[in-house]
Amino acid sequence: MAISEKYKALTDAATAAGINDLQVREQEGILYVDGTAPSGDVKDALWAKYNEIDPNFASGDLVLNIKTSINASVTKAKVTTESSNLNIRKGPGTDQPIVGKAAHGEIITLVSRSNDQWWQVRTEDGEEGYAYAQYLTPES
């Protein structure tokens, strides 16, 4: 089975969800899916579809690089770790690769509160990913 066929349901869902600038390409046995979701909920739905196809994201044959467009519902959150940096991950889970870090006390953009454990965030450097919600305090 071609890798694009394996993830056809995911790429079809991305198209149906209105992902802007959607780009799908295969390179060296890995499928890259890039674009911008209209909301955090849409991005979360794509991650859920990915998990249906590849439970626990174990295959390592897809790079899902979907950002979220900024909208009026975006707020700020303060990193409230004990003293260390907070890992920002590619997807919602500790098994996901780290794409950035936020320092203790740093104020970052809260894009979506996708669930009680993982929130989608964006750092001042523009890194977007998921952070463990226990270490974030929304700013008013």
What digits encode the pLDDT tens for the residues 27-79?
999 999 999 888 878 888 898 899 899 887 778 899 888 888 765 456 888 99
What pLDDT is stored for residue 114 in this prediction?
Answer: 67
- Provide the CATH topology of domain 75-138: SH3 type barrels. (2.30.30)
How far apart CA 119 and CA 131 sit, in angstroms, is: 6
Looking at residue 70, its pLDDT comes to 64
Domain ranges for the chain? 3-68, 75-138
Q: What is the structure's pLDDT at 9?
A: 94
Tokens 């523009």 locate to 126
Q: Tell me if 84 sits within 8 A of 132, measured CB to CB.
A: no
Strand-pair category, 128-132 with 136-138: unpaired
Q: Which residue, chain included where needed, has tokens 């079809």?
A: 12
Segment 111-133, tens digit of pLDDT = 887 677 999 898 888 888 999 99
Q: Which fold has domain 3-68?
A: Beta Polymerase; domain 2 (3.30.460)
What are the distances in angstroms from CA 84 to CA 9, 10, 76, 107, 130?
39, 36, 19, 14, 17
